[in-house]
Structure 1
Amino acid sequence: MTTVQSMTGFARREGTTGRYRWAWELRSVNGKGLDVRLRLPPGLDLLETEVRRRIAAELGRGNIQASLSIGYSEPKIEAVLNRDALAALQVLRSELGDLVDPSPLRLDSLLSIRGLVEFKEAEDDAEAVSVRDAAILEGLDRALEDLVAMRRSEGAALAAILSGQVRTIEALTATVENDPSRSSEEIARRLSAQLSTLLESGGSGLDRDRLYGEVALLATKADLREEIDRLKAHVAAADDLLARGGPIGRRLDFLAQEFNRESNTICSKSNSAAVTAAGIELKVVIDQFREQVQNLE
Structure 2
Amino acid sequence: MPVYSMTGYASAQHSTASNAPDSDAKNQPPGQLGLEIRSVNSRFLDLSFRLPEDLRQFEPTLRELVSAKLKRGKVEVRASIEVASNTSVQDPSPKLLQRLNAVQDNVKAWLPQASALSVADVLRFAAAEQTGTRDWSASVMPLAEKALKELMAARQREGGKLSTMLLERLSQLRTLALQAVPLVPQLVAQQRQRFLDRWKEAMALTDGSTLPEAAQDRALTEATAFAIRIDVAEEITRLNSHLDEIERLIKKGGEIGKRLDFLIQELHREANTMGSKSAALELTHISVDMKVLIEQMREQVQNIE
TM-score tier, shorter chain, comes to 0.7 to 0.9
Q: Does the residue aligned with 1:107 lie in a helix, a strand or coil?
A: coil
**8 Å contact from structure 1 (residues 29, 62) kept in 2:** yes
How many pairs were matched up?
Answer: 277
Task: Provide the residue aligned with 2:172 in structure 1.
Answer: 168
1:194 shift after superposition? 5.9
Q: 1:222 to 1:62 in 2, by over 3 A?
A: same
Counterpart in the other structure of 1:149:
153
Which residue of 2 is the match for residue 93 of structure 1?
A: 112
Aligned equivalents of 1:118 and 1:161: distance in 2? 58
Question: Residue 188 of structure 2 contacts residue 223 of structure 2 at CA under 8 Å; is this kept in 1?
Answer: no
Please tell me whether the aligned partners of residues 33 and 60 of structure 1 are also in contact (alpha carbons under 8 angstroms).
yes
Deviation of 1:200 after TM superposition, in Å, equals: 8.1
Residue 23 in 1 paired to residue 34 in 2?
yes
Give the CA deviation at 1:63. 1.1
Quick one: structure 1 residues 292 and 92, their matched pair in 2 at CA, closer, same or farther if it must change by over 3 Å? closer
Q: Which runs of 5+ in 1 are unaligned?
A: 95-99
SS at match of 2:272: helix
CA contact (8 A) 2:54 2:133 kept: no
1:195-206 equivalences in 2 (<5 Å): none
Change beyond 3 A, Cα 1:190–1:6: farther
Residues 1-297 of structure 1 aligned to structure 2 (within 5 Å): 2-17=1-16, 20-72=31-83, 79=96, 81=100, 87=106, 90-93=109-112, 106-108=116-118, 111=121, 119-120=128-129, 121-122=131-132, 129=135, 132-179=136-183, 181-182=185-186, 184-193=188-197, 216-297=224-305
Distance in structure 2 (CA, Å) of the matches to 1:110 and 1:277: 84
- TM-superposed CA distance for 1:111, in Å, is 3.7
- Partners of 1:181 and 1:187 within 8 A in 2: no
Contact 2:195/2:219 (<8 A) preserved: no
Report the secondary structure of 1:152's partner residue. Answer: helix
C-alpha deviation, 1:178, in angstroms: 2.1
Give the Cα separation in 2 of the matches to 1:5 and 1:122: 42
For 1:93 and 1:110, how far apart are their aligned partners in 2?
A: 21
Decide whether the 8 Å contact of 2:188 with 2:226 is kept in 1.
no
Asked if the contact 1:180/1:186 (under 8 Å) is kept, the reply is no
Give 1:46 deviation, angstroms. 1.9
Contact 1:11 1:147 in 2 (8 A): yes
Structure 2: which 5+ runs fail to align? 19-30
**Preserved contact between residue 41 and residue 302 of structure 2 (Cα < 8 Å):** yes
Answer whether contact 1:15 1:21 (CA < 8 A) is retained: yes
Structure 1 vs Structure 2 CA RMSD: 3.7
Shift of 1:51: 0.3
Deviation at 1:144, TM superposition (A): 0.7
Mapped partners of 2:203, 2:270: distance in 1: 35
The code of the aligned residue for 2:117 comes to: L
Q: Is the 8 A contact 1:14 1:21 kept in 2?
A: yes
Task: Please state whether the residue corresponding to 2:5 is helix, strand or coil.
Answer: coil
Structure 1 residues 195 and 50: CA distance shift in structure 2, 3 A: farther
Q: Cα distance 1:232–1:123, how it changes in 2: closer, same or farther (>3 A)?
A: closer
* Cα distance, 1:32 vs structure 2: 1.4
Q: 1:70 to 1:196 in 2, by over 3 A?
A: farther
**Equivalence for 1:97:** none
The code of the aligned residue for 2:3 comes to V
Please say which of residues 231-240 and 214-223 is displaced more in the overlay: 214-223
Q: How far 1:188 moved relative to its partner?
A: 2.6
What is the CA deviation profile of residues 104-158 of structure 1, one whole-angstrom value per residue up to 9, with x for unaligned ones?
Answer: x64318949xxx999444456xxxx4xx323210111111111111111111111
Secondary structure of 1:44's counterpart equals: helix
| In 1, Cα distance between equivalents of 2:267 and 2:146 | 40
Per-residue deviation, 1:186: 3.5
Cα contact 1:224–1:266 (8 A) shared by 2 = yes
**Structure 2: distance between partners of 1:280 and 1:178:** 18
CA distance in 2, matches of 1:175, 1:50: 56
